[in-house]
Amino acid sequence: MSMPTTAERPFTVDRSLLIRRLREVLPAQALLFEEEDLRPYDCDGLTAFRQLPLLVALPEDEVQVQAILRICHELRAPVVARGAATGLSGGATPHPDGVLVALAKLKKIIRVDPVSRTAVVQPGVRNLAVSEAAAPYGLYYAPDPSSQIACTIGGNVAENSGGVHCLKYGLTVHNVLRVRGLSIEGEIVEFGNAALDAPGYDLLALINGSEGLLALITEVTVKLTPKPELAQVVVASFADVRRAGDAVASIIAAGIIPAGLEMMDRRAILAVEPYANAGYDMDAEALLLCESDGTPEEVAEEIGRMTTVLEKSGAAGIRVSQNEAERLRFWAGRKAAFPAVGRLTPDYLCMDGTIPRKHLADMLEAIATLSGKYALRCANVFHAGDGNLHPLIMYDANQPGELERATAFGAEILELSIHFGGTITGEHGVGIEKIDLMAEQFTLAEIGAFHRLKAAFDEHGLLNPGKGVPTLARCREYTLARVGGEQNPTNPMNAPRR
Amino acid sequence: MQTHLADFIKDTPAGREADAILRSCVHCGFCNATCPTFQLLGDELDGPRGRIYLIKEMLEGQPVTARTQLHLDRCLTCRACESTCPSGVNYHRLYEIGRAVMEQRVPRSLAARATRLLLREALPRRWMFKPAVRLGQLLRPLLPGVLADKVPRPAGARIGGGPQPAAHPRRMVALAGCVQPTLAPNTNAATARVLDRLGIELVEVAGAACCGALRYHLDAREQALDDMRRVIDAWWPELESGRVEGFVMTASGCGGHVREYAALLKHDPAYADKAARIAAMTRDASEVLAAEQPRLLELLRAARAGVGERVAFHSPCTLQHAQKIRGVVEALLTAAGYPLSPVADAHLCCGSAGTYSLTQPVLARQLRDHKLAALHAGSPDLLATANVGCQMHLQSGSTLPVRHWIELIDERLRAAS
């Protein structure tokens, strides 16, 4: 366990030399180094962490990416990849000594093959653009993060993104066949292939969710899924959150696998409705969206079963989408929930813990208690079907101390997630946001194993340093600090483990 | 978003408004997905989220140079980002506040100043613009390709003259516009004929010409406000007479701007109330027709004109994003028997954007070509739109006729008579 870790390594980068070398391989407008130009690149979707990069590079093709990596490797400069910068865990937060490689210009859809039901795309292609390109063949790309209008496939692979439909159709890792990338040395590396399995270790699963720590992604082959003949969504409103939480567990227990099973609490509903005009019940304490897809017969049968379970669970009102426009409208509210909370608050932190479904209601109640403790509002939007929580902690960065309170609030939610037998991240990645909590989730030996894996790909720790996996020293500091925290009688962590 | 506005602006009305807008942005990045310039350039600085950040830095007192100016100048103000934004960020207001500060802080080159001066002095004045266009049309064979593209082709003959007062108890006022009478004189004439069939008299009022949008977007705010006051002065007696039901806009660019009169003149005690009343009575021609739908459908049925040409409709940004009028023109054209061909990425700007096609020709041309490819993809017989700027810009790159949609409705109704 004595191996030095990435973030501990000092980087002494000669900025002017780096600029000079990069200028030789990039067009003038593809390299930004004046502070005025760098400032808008200082964060991604996680605005609580901001850091000016040393430089920003905007390559247009794989050859330019390769040239950038070779130079950075030679000069030992850190490299942070960035797609649409919609990430919520700070995976694309710049490094002060490093080059931020923005891949938005690599946005070609290389081919859509309706026979093999695959598409080959560059990393900067937007998630939704893949489905749009596949639509003429009756196909679509199943993982649908709420940011799918903007987020890119490269970022989806790096974070192993999910979405409202991943309960039935899987996360990114289940919908990607092959990833082509570049190692920090600038060598082309391929993970997976056109078939469903490959000889040797399953490195394709490794690159999915690797958060830019192992390679820069330059091309992705995704699986396309036939569009269901019909999809309908049930919107059920509940007068209290516990009933809604229990209804989720009941649906799964009834053997139903909905195409999507989502939950929103009152604050989230109130934020979303004015923007989306989705027709949500504004008096409900919680809403469930439960989708069925398949043939018309399958959908009719399943919607019937869902409705029965929801009614038995005490739903106060039930609406079933009557046409595609209405279905999309019902979903539009859910998909816009995060930014719509921006109507209620200048800033928010979006958490991403995952817990066993049976604890959803307990968690909601615990969050309500914590909300009082930290005097911060919290709207809850859950991928309830797979137990993935997205509490949105509202704060005002202009008020001294609020960000710190929000961060502590979030950390307690994630600690609770582990306590309930879950994890600190379901689909947003660890990034910079949850790095300390990795020490809560894993032992030092396990963290050490992660570092050895990283070193096998990136010996000098140049790819996205300081993200995903904490240094062992950081883990020890966190553990020491936590010992004090457990003396706090209001900390729900002190309750016996369930 | 965290803000620390600088002393020079933070306690002014503009500063307070900008601060509120900045704080409503949560930096989600959805806006970049539908921003035409981000789509072309892939640089955060050329998308709304980056521009908001650049403006924030400027208002927080950071040094600002031609770099910021370049990226703000590239904004089309198409407001597609506002349609996409779930947080309700009032981008265009922030952009206007930011531009005003930038114009004070970052000098422009002599050539750029001259171009902008020429545009804002010549375009709104019909006596200067009309002869200039005629001269350009005469000289077109001698002009280099790029410049020749910019000269509009001669407008189709004006059919049956302008709005003619007819004996109807119902009366509406149309804005003459600045460049439209020269470039597309049939638009208002066709509107007058269609409204006449619906029992509404349409008049133009002398003195109400340019709505002020042109100068406003070329950073000549005071001049622009005078243009707006002139329109209000010309229309006010009509409004006060109580005979006028509304103000009809046949160019969505002007319509979007007149609807902003209330916001733009709210600090002018002499005009604030008048501006608000006129803005509230302003309607796009499509809204007027949609409100008369039963009668219109009856007339169309009577016309029995059969199936019309296949039309690809381009909804101007000022119609769909600024005025949020969506699907109305499409429904009218369908009702009139024109099959609509599908158009991909219908939310994207065509690159015309007021004077943008003249100040940012490279990007404007790329956007135009993308838009035309999307419009042509469904093999239409002709293209239709709702704003004279888009109409001319698209026409400069297409061999298909580009019409104002009201002309198509007019033709269907005339087929019957």
Residue B157 has pLDDT above 90, yes or no: no
Smallest CA–CA distance from A275 into chain B, residue:
B86
Question: How far, in Å, are B229, B245, B265, B273 from residue B261 at the CA level?
Answer: 9, 18, 6, 10
Give B41 to chain A, closest Cα distance, Å: 7
Helix (H) or strand (E) holding A100: strand A99-102
Give the full edge-to-edge strand order of the sheet including A286-294. A317-320, A230-238, A286-294, A260-265, A378-383, A388-395, A347-350
CATH number of the domain bearing residue B381: 3.40.50.1860
Smallest CA–CA distance from A133 into chain B, residue:
B344
Contact A47 B1 (CB under 8 A): yes
Scan for tokens 């521009």, then name that residue. Answer: B51
Residue B416's pLDDT is 59
Q: What phi, psi does A388 have (nearest 5°)?
A: -90, 120
Residue B61, domain extent: 7-105
Residue A89's pLDDT is 94
Q: Domain residue spans in chain A?
A: 6-102, 109-226, 230-340, 345-494
Residue A495's pLDDT is 41
Residue B164 has pLDDT above 70, yes or no: no
Q: What phi, psi does B135 have (nearest 5°)?
A: -65, -45
Residue A343's pLDDT is 83
Residue B329 lies in a domain: yes
Residue A322 has pLDDT above 80, yes or no: yes
User: In which band, very low, low, confident or very high, does the pLDDT at B153 lie, cut at 50, 70 and 90?
Assistant: low
Same fold? A230-340, A345-494: yes
Name which residue leads in pLDDT, A359 or B123: A359
What residues have CB less than 8 Å from A482, skipping those under 6 apart?
A440
User: In which band, very low, low, confident or very high, does the pLDDT at A6 lie, cut at 50, 70 and 90?
Assistant: very low
* Numbered residues of chain A with Cβ closer than 8 Å to any chain B Cβ: 29, 32, 34, 36-37, 39-41, 43-45, 47, 58, 84-86, 102, 104-105, 107, 124, 126, 128, 147, 149-151, 275-276, 336, 338-343, 346-348, 397-398
Residue B274's pLDDT is 97
Q: Which of B81, B105, B129 represents a domain boundary (last residue)? A: B105
Collect contacts of B3-9 with beta carbons under 8 A, ≥24 apart.
B3/A398, B3/B56, B3/B60, B4/A398, B4/B60, B5/B59, B5/B60, B6/B59, B6/B60, B6/B61, B7/B61, B8/B61, B9/B59, B9/B101
On whether the CB atoms of residues B402 and B375 are closer than 8 A, the answer is no
Q: DSSP letter string over A417-457?
A: HHHTT-BS-SSS--TTTTTTTHHHHS-HHHHHHHHHHHHHH
Residue B111's pLDDT is 84
Q: Coil, helix or strand for B127?
A: helix
Burial of B387 (0-12, 13-18, 19+ CB in 10 A): buried
d(CA B46, CA B39): 9
d(CA B250, CA A53): 49
Residue B143 has pLDDT above 80, yes or no: no
User: In which band, very low, low, confident or very high, does the pLDDT at A493 lie, cut at 50, 70 and 90?
Assistant: very low
d(CA B65, CA A463): 33
On whether the CB atoms of residues B371 and B234 are closer than 8 A, the answer is no
What ipTM was estimated for this complex? 0.90
The tally of domains found in chain B comes to: 2
User: In which band, very low, low, confident or very high, does the pLDDT at A189 lie, cut at 50, 70 and 90?
Assistant: very high
Residue B386's pLDDT is 98
The mean pLDDT of B222-243, rounded to a whole number, is: 94
Helix (H) or strand (E) holding A132: helix A127-134
Residue B118's pLDDT is 80
Contact A39 B1 (CB under 8 A): no
The mean pLDDT of B209-213, rounded to a whole number, is: 91
Count of Cβ atoms closer than 10 Å to residue A238 Cβ: 25
Residue B133's pLDDT is 74
Residue A335's pLDDT is 82
Contact A104 B38 (CB under 8 A): yes
Chain B residues with CB-CB distance to A268 below 8 A? none
d(CA B368, CA B352): 8
On whether the CB atoms of residues A144 and A165 are closer than 8 A, the answer is yes
Q: Which of B53, B85, B105 represents a domain boundary (last residue)? A: B105
Contact A36 B54 (CB under 8 A): yes
User: In which band, very low, low, confident or very high, does the pLDDT at A430 lie, cut at 50, 70 and 90?
Assistant: very high
Contact B1 A86 (CB under 8 A): no
On whether the CB atoms of residues A164 and A190 are closer than 8 A, the answer is no
Query: DSSP E strands: which ranges in B332-401?
Result: 382-385
What residues are paired with A394 via a beta bridge? A348
d(CA B216, CA B228): 10
Furthest C-alpha separation in chain A = 69
pTM: 0.91
Contact B29 A45 (CB under 8 A): yes
Q: Which of B105, B129, B146 represents a domain boundary (last residue)? A: B105
Range of lowest pLDDT (A152-166, A217-231, A337-351, B141-155): B141-155
d(CA A288, CA A245): 9
On whether the CB atoms of residues A180 and A190 are closer than 8 A, the answer is yes
Sign of CA dihedral A442, A446, A448, A453: negative
Buried b (16+ CB within 10 A) or exposed e, A296-320: eeebeebbeebbebbeebebbeeeb
Residue B1's pLDDT is 83
Contact A39 B24 (CB under 8 A): no
Residue A484's pLDDT is 55
Please provide the CATH number assigned to the domain covering A109-226: 3.30.465.10
Residue B157 lies in a domain: no
Q: DSSP letter string over A11-41?
A: ----HHHHHHHHHHHS-GGGEE-SHHHHGGG
Residue A200's pLDDT is 84
pLDDT, tens digit (0-9, with 9 covering 90-100), for B332-388: 999 999 999 999 999 999 999 988 988 999 999 999 999 999 999 999 999 999 999
User: In which band, very low, low, confident or very high, does the pLDDT at A319 lie, cut at 50, 70 and 90?
Assistant: very high
Scan for tokens 């908001």, then name that residue. Answer: B52
pLDDT, tens digit (0-9, with 9 covering 90-100), for A271-289: 889 878 888 999 999 999 9
Helix%, strand%, coil% for chain B, nearest 5: 55, 5, 35
**DSSP 8-class letter at B287:** H
The mean pLDDT of A430-456, rounded to a whole number, is: 94
Sign of CA dihedral A335, A338, A342, A344: positive
pLDDT over 70 for what percent of chain A? 95
Where do the H-state alpha helices sit in B304-360? 317, 328-335, 356-359
Residue A497's pLDDT is 39
Tell me how many degrees the CA angle A65-A70-A75 measures, rounded to the nearest 5. 125
On whether the CB atoms of residues A93 and A43 are closer than 8 A, the answer is yes
Q: Chain-wide mean pLDDT for chain B?
A: 91
pLDDT over 90 for what percent of chain B? 74
User: In which band, very low, low, confident or very high, does the pLDDT at B104 lie, cut at 50, 70 and 90?
Assistant: very high
Domain A6-102, CATH class in plain words: alpha beta
* Identity of the amino acid at B32: N
Give A431 to chain B, closest Cα distance, Å: 16
Residue B218's pLDDT is 87
Contact A398 B23 (CB under 8 A): yes
Residue B312's pLDDT is 98
Q: Which two tokens stand for residue B247?
A: 């103000």
Q: Which two tokens stand for residue A239?
A: 């007068």
Smallest Cβ–Cβ distance between B23 and the set A44, A58, A346 belongs to A346
Residue A185 has pLDDT above 50, yes or no: yes
The mean pLDDT of A136-161, rounded to a whole number, is: 96
Sign of CA dihedral A369, A372, A373, A375: positive
pLDDT, tens digit (0-9, with 9 covering 90-100), for A472-483: 999 988 888 876
The mean pLDDT of A296-300, rounded to a whole number, is: 96
Residue A491 has pLDDT above 70, yes or no: no
d(CA B197, CA B97): 44
What residues have CB less than 8 Å from A310, skipping those under 6 apart?
A234, A236, A247, A251, A288, A290, A318
User: In which band, very low, low, confident or very high, does the pLDDT at A1 lie, cut at 50, 70 and 90?
Assistant: very low
Residue B128's pLDDT is 73
On whether the CB atoms of residues B78 and B317 are closer than 8 A, the answer is yes
d(CA A225, CA B402): 39
Q: Distance between alpha carbon B394 and the CA centroid of its chain, in Å?
A: 14
Q: Chain-wide mean pLDDT for chain A?
A: 92
d(CA A372, CA B415): 71
Range of lowest pLDDT (A199-203, A254-258, A301-305, A306-310): A199-203
User: In which band, very low, low, confident or very high, does the pLDDT at A492 lie, cut at 50, 70 and 90?
Assistant: very low
d(CA A343, CA B25): 9
Size of interface A-B (CB pairs under 8 A): 112
The mean pLDDT of A383-409, rounded to a whole number, is: 93
Smallest Cβ–Cβ distance between B29 and the set A36, A86, A276 belongs to A86
On whether the CB atoms of residues B194 and B409 are closer than 8 A, the answer is yes
Smallest Cβ–Cβ distance between B29 and the set A32, A85, A343 belongs to A85
Closest C-alpha to A381, from A154, A224, A110, A147? A147
CATH number of the domain bearing residue B99: 1.10.1060.10
Chain A residues with CB-CB distance to B43 below 8 A? 29, 58, 102, 104
Q: Which CATH number fits domain A230-340: 3.90.1150.10, 3.90.550.10, 3.30.70.100, 3.30.70.2190?
A: 3.30.70.2190
Q: Would you say domain A345-494 falls under CATH 3.30.70.2740? A: yes
Q: Which two tokens stand for residue B91?
A: 């981008």
Query: DSSP E strands: which ranges in A183-215?
Result: 188-192
* Numbered residues of chain B with Cβ closer than 8 Å to any chain A Cβ: 1-4, 23-34, 38, 41-45, 49-50, 53-54, 57, 62-65, 67-68, 84-89
Residue B163's pLDDT is 57
Residue B154 has pLDDT above 90, yes or no: no
Contact B28 A147 (CB under 8 A): yes
